Amino acid sequence: MTKGALRAGAQLGLAHAELAQVLHLDAQAISAMEAGIEPLRADTPSGQRAITLIKIHQALTANVGLDEEAGKRWMASSNTALGGIPASLIQTGEALGAVLDYLRRAEAPQGI
């Protein structure tokens, strides 16, 4: 799960500081995760947030395909339906789930 969260964060265009905010960790914890020193555990709040982040990445990929740059653009662009920029919104508690719900509701053939 740790590698998946790090990969999802990178592919969504999140800087380490942003990923730390999403997971409610500090930057040192992200560095420790990368070094393999501090793995995420699914039974922790940070682990649960990581699982949601991975699901966001999967749902976005289902909507934009394997075009990583398109996914990064979507994350960095203002979204009227969500009321902000997804990359910023997911750094708050409630909005992480809202972004996932939005992506799951989006119809893949129409895109997002």
State yes or no: pLDDT of 102 exceeds 80. yes
Name the residue ranges covered by the structural domains of the chain: 2-105
pLDDT grade for 53, boundaries at 50, 70 and 90: very high
More confident residue, 104 or 111: 104
Report the pLDDT value the prediction gives residue 66, as an integer from 0 to 100. 84
Report the pLDDT value the prediction gives residue 65, as an integer from 0 to 100. 84
Report the pLDDT value the prediction gives residue 34, as an integer from 0 to 100. 93
State yes or no: pLDDT of 44 exceeds 90. yes
Decide: residue 38, CB within 10 A, 0-12 exposed, 13-18 middle, 19+ buried. middle
Full-model pTM: 0.90
Report the pLDDT value the prediction gives residue 55, as an integer from 0 to 100. 96
Whether residue 56 contacts residue 99, with contact meaning beta carbons closer than 8 Å, is answered with yes
CA 98-77-58 angle, 5° bins: 50
